[in-house]
Chains A and B, each alone.
Chain A
């Protein structure tokens, strides 16, 4: 069910927001996907009650009134736990609201719970969560992708109509692809990051997971714009235009052949719809991975320094001296992958007065430049979202380098600050395969409009 028809069903009294919640909570329990770290039932029923009153009065109905949604557990909601999927914050209750939550609440949406995720958004399979692995709704022995794996699984399994996630190098698009849903990462600076726990501040974006592009656009319009708390916000509106020219790649390294076949088939469908497809060459993927890793690790090592056991989170006060206390808290509170990245980032920053970090910025500029040049000839770039099909639990988790390849087709969009969206293209052996569209910087509205049309046109054919 999409946002519009759900709202209509409320208006036409086919069901109430409370009934909707009953159904959703039952389904979450029955499905056992472990896609939620926390269910905020009290909050939800309270909001649903207020929403019901508005529908009864038929007055003051809000934009997302009574729509159940979920939010990745690295967003602050006042009074609720915010764990970031980590032992470090397993008891942390936020005393303040993130901007995105605040805006959704003001729009009448009903928060049903907080989604499981890779610890501090570091991971591509949701296997690094302290709260256990999330299962893929299409096949429970498969991972849902990550790091917004709980969010994608929840939307894929109809546990919420939309979910808010975060995308630093593909953390929304890759799980969206694995769970057969839409995952949108806007241009950096469109949606306030205030209240999103920082992983890599210069790359982190707040994004949206939905069933349809149309829904995505509706939620995006609620979230976007300045809030006075995030100085990197710059919500420029593009000139409205039709996007006709699509760049595609004729070959890709390391790609699963079934994924690539679906990709090429999808491109032909687009051609039939009247789009012009132009072959392009993407030769900066490898560079982008190096820049991405250095930048995220450096920033993460600093962003995660605040978890020191002094003011909140995991604490150990007895016995140790200061240094010993830090070691104990951080040694125990962080998982393997998080530690790996903190240590690497610390090293990169220490080396030769931040030489690596500075270099990663130069690479970013280079990549952004190359993308800008590409977009002189095309309006959209189309790529597979992930090189691989959804994989089985445990298949890659012990191989960090393989795992890092998961970001290779997505991270460059974060580095170049351009919008990108993953939508489901097809299935292989009943596992979903997503296709990613990358747009011009600040061209988010045109990207969403075009994709919305594409999605509807292709549905007609089915």
Chain B
């Protein structure tokens, strides 16, 4: 086996989050019902014309700025001509010679810079589905949905780098709220193009493209398969042909698209029905000011300010609203480190069970903050706090109320006294040793009392009464 260098470039199509399609007023909402979000314009009926939905521009610009791109002050649309049943007009309106932005980058954790060649906006096509009886069915709900296409240089040398890039890109567009970027619903689609070459050769090899990758797993597998396939060909002295490979999720294989379907000449020309997009410095400046703290920056800041480790910070910063919730909930807390676990374990479990995001929870960050303060001020211990969190996550009540109920409703102070006396009876030896001067055993006894009382009393209260009883004895 020879030694090979792998070069991968990635094209990503990301659905831009707008209410209506890019060139007409149809809704972009996802629905299972075919051909309901359509009109004469997105169906490409004769005589119809596109008009640009200007909502798209600021969202795409936000992304371009976040990806460190150079913004073209004048950009324009072009027609990409080819025939396919899911393409209503026989051409796709996209950007060609003058994309919205170019020459950006994303930096991977290793410090490696992935260069972004261009970012442009375009319309999505429809969808062709084949049913069990070999019929081809067409759904045009997606035709005309606004997309950004982001193209990198062939800077990746492994599938791990590709995945990291895509995860970062996905996180950025979600932070910017320009896309929901869910892969399963086709809002975020990565298409790698792969070439390999022998180490001693300087020029890039012939590249192939992989389509139909609907998850990160599929992307990983697709790249692995394709690298293996190309290696086998080159090792066998064969040449690699420039083809488009289709990933088959069920069979877990790659197969080349028929030649007929892969088009080499799109006959691009400027779209005569749409004027150029001209951007003022003012607009660009305004949009720059709407860009929030980006995920990479936030991860670093959280590590620094809240003393989190890398993994914790990454988990908390995965979603912006989650990170924001975190930050609000720990306002004024002295020992944050102790509480981070809530965001690593408890909260994800609750969110997963309820299948919701933080903004849909029945409680807000203030209530969680109140709970955290109780822990911080040692009014309750972590165990109790976990229980209270569970309770507020279903009732939405303020932690004070839950705590009060827990303390007051079923047990009185006398009950507590009795329980403590019980504990002391059960641990006579330790009591003896404490009285003989082993101060640290006090903590042990408090722990035993807390256990006995099933965390229904605050450590402070238990402390106070325990000390009283011990000094009386």
Contacts and interface: CB of A to CB of B under 8 A. Distances in A.
B272 A310 contact: no
A231 B77 CA distance: 13
A95 B45 CA distance: 9
Interface in A345-361: 346, 349-350, 353-354, 357
A305 B272 CA distance: 15
Interface in B33-69: 40, 43-52
A230 B83 contact: no
A302 B90 CA distance: 7
A232 B275 CA distance: 7
A76 B269 contact: no
Contact of B85 (A74, A82, A302, A322): A322
B269 A349 contact: yes
Interface in A305-331: 305-308, 310-312, 322-323, 326
Contacts of B217: none
B138 A310 contact: yes
A308 B83 contact: yes
Contact of A231 (B45, B267, B269, B275): B275
Interface string B397-424: 0000000000000000000000000000
A84 B267 contact: no
A258 interface: no
Contacts of B40: 95-96
B162 to A, nearest CB: 30
Contacts of A94: 45, 47
Nearest to A228: B51
Chain A interface, >50% SS class:
loop
Contacts of B166: none
Contacts of B273: 198, 201, 230-232
A74 B274 CA distance: 21
Interface string B252-291: 0000000010000101110011110000000000000000
Contact of B90 (A201, A305, A322, A353): A305
B269 A298 contact: yes
A195 to B, nearest CB: 5
A305 B138 CA distance: 18
Contacts of A89: 46
B90 A306 contact: yes
B89 interface: yes
A321 to B, nearest CB: 9
Interface string B79-113: 10101010011110000000000000000000000
A229 interface: yes
A299 interface: yes
Contacts of A307: 46, 90
Interface residues of B, number: 29
A98 to B, nearest CB: 6
A311 B83 contact: no
A111 interface: no
A75 interface: yes
A446 B199 CA distance: 73
A333 B373 CA distance: 77
A94 B273 CA distance: 21
B269 A302 contact: yes
A196 interface: yes
B269 A74 contact: no
Nearest to A295: B272
Nearest to A346: B267
Contacts of B269: 298-299, 302, 349, 354, 357
B91 A195 contact: no
Chain B interface, >50% SS class:
loop
A308 B85 contact: yes
A291 to B, nearest CB: 14
Contacts of A76: 45-47
A20 B43 CA distance: 39
Contacts of A302: 79, 81, 90-91, 267, 269
A302 B89 CA distance: 9
Interface string A81-106: 01010000100101110100000000
A82 to B, nearest CB: 7
Contacts of B46: 76, 82, 84, 89, 92, 197-198, 306-307
A445 B274 CA distance: 26
A354 B51 contact: no
A94 B46 CA distance: 9
Contacts of A196: 47
Given A299-B272, A302-B91, A231 B49 contact: yes
A194 B268 contact: no
Nearest to A96: B40
A193 interface: yes
A323 B260 contact: yes
A194 B46 CA distance: 10
A202 interface: yes
Contacts of B267: 301-302, 346, 349-350, 354
Contact of B268 (A95, A198, A312, A354): A354
Interface in B131-166: 138
B47 A98 contact: yes
A323 B261 CA distance: 10
Nearest to A120: B46
Contact of B43 (A98, A229, A311): A311
Nearest to A309: B85
Interface in A183-213: 193-198, 201-202
Contacts of B274: 231
Contact of A82 (B47, B79, B91): B47
B154 to A, nearest CB: 22
B49 A229 contact: yes
B412 to A, nearest CB: 74
B23 to A, nearest CB: 10
Contacts of B88: 306, 311
B149 to A, nearest CB: 20
A194 B83 contact: no
A308 B260 contact: no
Given A194-B48, A231-B273, A302-B267, A310 B85 contact: yes
A349 B52 contact: no
Contacts of A301: 81, 267
Contacts of B52: 231
Contact of A312 (B45, B51, B91): B45
A310 B89 CA distance: 11
A307 B45 CA distance: 9
A201 B274 CA distance: 10
A95 B138 CA distance: 20
Contacts of A308: 83, 85, 90
A75 to B, nearest CB: 7
14 contacts: A76-B46, A82-B47, A95-B40, A194-B49, A198-B47, A230-B273, A301-B81, A302-B79, A302-B269, A305-B81, A305-B90, A307-B46, A326-B83, A349-B81
Given A197-B47, A349-B81, A357-B269, 7 more contacts: A196-B47, A198-B273, A231-B275, A299-B269, A302-B91, A308-B83, A322-B260
10 pairs of A and B residues whose beta carbons are closest in the complex = A305-B90, A202-B272, A349-B267, A201-B272, A197-B46, A195-B47, A76-B47, A197-B47, A96-B40, A306-B90
Interface of B: 40, 43-52, 79, 81, 83, 85, 88-91, 138, 260, 265, 267-269, 272-275
